[in-house]
Homo-oligomer: A and B are copies of this chain.
Amino acid sequence: MGLFTKDIQTLDDLFVHTLQDIYYAEQQITKALPKMISKATDPALKSGFEQHLKETEGQIERLEKVFEMHGAKAKAVNCPAIDGIIKEANEIAGDVADKEVLDAALLASAQAVEHYEITRYGTLVAWAKQLGREDCASVLQQNLDEEYATDKKLTAMAESKVNRHAAA
């Protein structure tokens, strides 16, 4: 987007821009997850991150499909939001000494990432429907459903053991 021009004229432009934003975000997440996998100690948390990495790769393919369905080129634009969320995740992880407390911190950071994706996919689904693109909405809904499921799984993992171990 230009610094001195207002490139977004229509809701359709805004939809494509936000698609480019989440396309970038998902790519950054695939780069961040291997570090989180290597730092996690709890085997279930580690394998949860591994599973989410595979899932994220599938989500990127779905986004490419939506770009294609929409007749737009798959392109990423900078997304300061995900950059900030990942930067914060790295900073906190670097500050934690205890392995079990680190697991609790990593899990919380992963949930912050999930919530960013949930809000963006929720918006994209609503805009696609408003634009009469039920076909795009339905593909994006699959990503949204996966993010919700991952967030729920992380909450269950936190409550069932990760937080308890961190407090012990």
Q: Which residues of A contact B (CB under 8 A)?
A: 1-2, 6-11, 13-14, 17-18, 21, 79-85, 87-88, 91-92, 94-98, 101, 104-105, 108, 111-112, 114-116, 118-120, 122-123, 126-127, 130-131, 155, 158-159, 163-164, 166-167
Main secondary structure of the interface of A (DSSP, over half): helix
Chain B residues, Cβ within 8 Å of A126: 155, 158-159, 163
User: Is the Cβ of B164 less than 8 Å from the Cβ of A96?
Assistant: no
User: Is the Cβ of A127 less than 8 Å from the Cβ of B163?
Assistant: yes
Q: How many angstroms between the C-alpha atoms of A95 and B77 in the bound complex?
A: 13
Known: A81-B84, A81-B85, A111-B123. A11 touches B94 (CB 8 A): no
Q: Which of B14, B85, B91, B115 contacts A84 (CB 8 A)?
A: B85
User: Is the Cβ of A101 less than 8 Å from the Cβ of B167?
Assistant: no
